[in-house]
Every structure is written in structure tokens, then in C-alpha cells.
Amino acid sequence: MSAHTESDVLVIGSGIAGLAAALAAAREGADVTVATKATRPEGSASWWAQGGIAVARDDPEQFKRDVLAASDGTADPDAVDVLVENANDAVEDVLLETLDVAFDEAQGDFDFGREAAHSADRILHVDASTGKHVHVPFLNYLDDHDGVRIRDDTAALELIRHEGRAHGAVLESDGEFAPHFAGSVVLATGGIGDLYPRSTNPAGSTGDGIAMAALAGAEVTDMEYVQFHPTVCVANDSPFLVSEAVRGEGAVLRNGEGERFMPDYHEDAELAPRDVVARAVQTERDATGEVLLDVRPLDFAGAFPDLVEKCEDHGVDWETGIPVVPAEHFCCGGIDVDDRGRTSLDRLYAVGECSRTGVHGANRLASTSLLEGLVWGLRAGADAAGTDAEVVEAPELLERDPELPDRFAAEKFRRLRRVMDEYVGLERDPEDLGRAMAVLRRLKGEVDAYTRTRTSRSLYELRSASVTALLIARQAAANDESVGCHHLAESPSTDAESDAPEPRADD
Ligand code: SIN
């Protein structure tokens, strides 16, 4: 192990939530380190955000009703109050005044967009590439900010925990490990896309923060609510998101027989809650072979030039319809936090997608993830400042021996994704969840044994993925109510964990 480093606040992850936490802590005078696996700029999920960032405008109550309705009434109303009451100020302060983001305008005002399950136009956006227009200036601003140091391509492998408190993390950079001690740790590690074969997340979304927090004893809940985005184009094996904003502007979904089907599934048709649309797309694909997003009802080229470019780059003839499938998009559950991002472990915070604030319940409303990250990031960062780092005993990691663990990890990742896709996807069956748990428990056992003898980033990513996958499968099996993103194929159910069926031979 190399020599240790220290700061007042260690932020792990560099999406909008982590950067907001770093900004708020630095504004309080804290010395902040941001350690991020991401390489710039596209390594972070925030960079990929298309649709935009919702604000309350002059009606927070209406915004709140939409968030609650999209969640099927399962979101926590107090958490939603925090979101809607702080939305306008947080956006004004950070995105407009500090970063000067040039959101699209129309007729002398912002060009507020609309997406599924919103009852008003309230989404600020820059074309359909909002994420990069927020994320890049945010990184640049913090690069020049006193007291903030961003360490790219640096992974957190283990939390340092001592007497029930978080004291930092063991960081890996260029194959070297070193403890980093901090007064507080803010987890902002993003999502879980690498657990599924198709996802809108960037590579490396392996649930690291969720797994590290769970292994350190923090509460993790609502993990069964994995949101699949209904319109992901998979041409040439390289998936890209086709924003819900396109349906907001009038695009319709047609099945392989050319029929528009969404009105048969929900009164809001293409603008129904995301889980409803995703399942309908899958059902129609299974029945008719394909689903196309028909963009002829709108001026697609005029409204979404960046998506036109993407289609052309991928060889998709958008004028005859964009072929779409559902793909993993967002983890609505995560590390349980309060209204300031505090977890159940002292001096450990979580913000953004790896956290569970209660805002999303069983299904997230479109364009609320950047907002949640911003609001909770600011609150957590301000709260996390003010405690000095303390040097305590850190976990010893074994020297790196990259080749073997990297090969082992690649092979086991394939198995993990197959299990998650087959058994813990859009639609779940209690018996399949039992199968998934059996396979994942075995996999985690193999990974644990391996980490006792070797260390590499890929091995720790696999460990994070297997812990997180097991949490999803276990919490899905324990929930016998079909709601939001957790949809049971059959009426439930006996206790799937205690009555786990044998895995199939090819598992
Ligand atoms: C999209 O642009 O469709 C994604 C927006 C979101 O997930 O909030």
C-alpha cells in the first residue's frame, strides 16, 4: 500500500450529485477530494442525460402530484416536498448563476419541455443533450475552485470504517492502493447498468457505492425497483437512448404490424408512466417481432438534431422509424438516506442514483434524477463539511496481480448479466427470483474467495455487482406486490428465498 492521503470530505463519484456535494462542502470551507472512476467527460452517467432537469416553476404542488402519481403513490411525500420546494432555487443558484448553463429558450422564456407522466411543461433542457451541457461546465468550475481536488480514473475499493463511523476509503489509481482518510464520506457512485446486458448507463456502473455501504452495514432499500427505459435504440449492438422528450413532442410507438398500440395499454398512451410503456414495448416486441418509434408526427430533425446525428452514426433510417427496446436505465432504490443525505452509518452520506431518498418510490418520474442529485448533493455536502479527518486502521489489500482477476471478472460478469436479464428483468416470477438468488449467492462466494488472495479494480467491481445484484434479487423476492418497476408475472407467492428452486444446469 502507498502512503495515505487526507481531506475533510471525500466524495466518491463525479456525476451531478457528487459535484454538487463537493461544491457545497467547499463553500463551507471544507477541503474536498472527489475520487472518481470516470474518465472525462463521458465516464459519468450525468453526462449522458438527454431529456433535462425538471423544475417546479410556479406550481410545486402540481409537480409533487406528478412525482407521486408516477410512483404509483409509493414515493415518500416528505422527500418529494424537499425536492419540489428546493428545485427552483438549486437550479437558479448552481446551473444558472454559477455555471451559466444556456438552456434552450423560446419566445423570451425557457423552452420548458414535457415528458411522460408530467402534467405541465417544466423541463429545462439543451437540445436532447442536457447532461453534457451541465456536467462539463461543472467539472471545469470545480477544477478551478479552491479546496477541491478531482482525482479521475480513481476507484474506491473499500470503505474505511472504525467504531461505527466512516473514516474514508481505500482508493486505487494506476494499480496502486492507498487509504484516503476523511472527516466525512459522500457516496455518489451512480447506477447499476453493468448488471444488465443492455443499459443506458456508461460502462463501470457496477453499484460500487451501494455494495460498499451494504458491506459496511448501512441500510439499503427499494432495490427491486429497477427502472427500464422503454425507448433505447440497439442498432449495431451499441445501444443509445432515444429521449422520452421525443414522445413528449408527439412521436408514437408502432408494433411490427405497423399498429399504434399504447392507447390500448394506458389512457395516457405514449406518455404513460415509464414502467407501463416499457412493459408494453416488450410485450409487443415479443408478439410482433419489433417496435418502432415513429417520429413522423413531429419535426424530428428540427427539434432533435443531436438524435438525428446519433441515428445516422448508427446507420438508423429514422424516417422509417427508430427500432427500440427497453433497457436498464435507473435504480430507484439504494442506500437509505434522510433529507440531508445522511445514511444509517455515522459520517457516511449518499447522493444521486446510489441513494434512496424516497423521492422515486417504485418508479421515477422523468427528468427528476439530475434534480434529485443536485438538491441532495447540495444538502449533503453542506452537512458533511466541518469534521476533520482522523487516521485509523485501514483494510490491508493484497498486491495487484491483474491478469488472472481481470479474466475471472470478465467471465463471471457474463454469468451475472445473464441471470439478471433472465430472472430479474422487466417481469419477475417468484421461482425465477429464487433461482437468481441461488446463482448469485454462489457467485458472490466465488468472488469473496478470490478477493482474499488477489486485488484488482475489475475484481472489486465484480464484487460490487454481485452484492448489488443479490440485494436486488432478494428484495424483489421479498416483495409480493406488483407495483411500479417491480412487476410480477404471476400472482405471488411463497417465500422464494426459503423455498429457492435449484438453478438450471446452464446457470
Ligand atoms: C430521457 O431523456 O428519456 C431520460 C430522462 C430521464 O431518465 O429522466
C-alpha–C-alpha distance, residues 424 and 419, integer Å: 7
**158: CB partners within 8 A, 6+ apart:** 169, 170, 212, 215, 395, 397, 460
Q: Quick check: 210 and 464 in contact, CB under 8 A?
A: yes
Examine the residue annotation and report whether 274 is marked as an active-site residue of this protein: yes
Q: For strand 105-106 and strand 32-35, is the pairing parallel, antiparallel, or unpaired?
A: unpaired
Q: Is 275 helix (H, G, I), strand (E, B) or coil?
A: helix
227 C-alpha to ligand 1 centroid (Å): 11
Q: Mean pLDDT in the chain?
A: 93
C-alpha–C-alpha distance, residues 4 and 170, integer Å: 9
Q: Write out the three cell numbers for 104.
A: 434552450
C-alpha–C-alpha distance, residues 354 and 207, integer Å: 7
Q: Give the mean model confidence (pLDDT) for residues 158-174.
A: 95
263 C-alpha to ligand 1 centroid (Å): 21
Residue type, 344: S
- Asked whether the predicted pLDDT for residue 401 surpasses 60, the reply is yes
C-alpha–C-alpha distance, residues 432 and 437, integer Å: 9
Helix (H) or strand (E) holding 214: helix 208-215
Catalytic residue among 161, 274, 279, 342: 274
- Asked whether the predicted pLDDT for residue 393 surpasses 50, the reply is yes
Amino acid 495: pLDDT: 42
Q: Nearest 5°: phi and psi at 170? A: -85, 125
Amino acid 507: pLDDT: 55
Q: For strand 53-54 and strand 123-124, is the pairing parallel, antiparallel, or unpaired?
A: antiparallel
Q: Nearest 5°: phi and psi at 98? A: -85, -45
- Taking the model in full, what pTM does it have? 0.94
Q: Quick check: 330 and 195 in contact, CB under 8 A?
A: no
Q: Write out the three cell numbers for 370.
A: 439530475
- Asked whether the predicted pLDDT for residue 278 surpasses 90, the reply is yes
**pLDDT tens for each residue of 199-211:** 999 999 999 999 9
**pLDDT tens for each residue of 222-265:** 999 999 999 999 877 778 999 998 998 999 999 999 999 999 99
- Model confidence at 499, pLDDT cuts 50, 70, 90, reads very low
128 C-alpha to ligand 1 centroid (Å): 9
Which atom of ligand 1 is least distant from the CA of 242? 3
As to burial, measured by CB atoms within 10 angstroms (0-12 exposed, 13-18 middle, 19+ buried), residue 175 is: exposed
Q: Give the mean model confidence (pLDDT) for residues 480-488.
A: 96
Pocket around ligand 1 at a 6 A CB cut-off:
50-51, 243-245, 366-367, 369
366 C-alpha to ligand 1 centroid (Å): 5
**163: CB partners within 8 A, 6+ apart:** none
Q: Quick check: 243 and 305 in contact, CB under 8 A?
A: no
- Asked whether the predicted pLDDT for residue 338 surpasses 70, the reply is yes
For ligand 1, mutation pick of 240, 367, 368 (most atoms within 8 Å of CB): 367
Q: Give the mean model confidence (pLDDT) for residues 261-281.
A: 94
**272: CB partners within 8 A, 6+ apart:** 116, 117, 262, 265, 266, 280
Which atom of ligand 1 is least distant from the CA of 365? 8
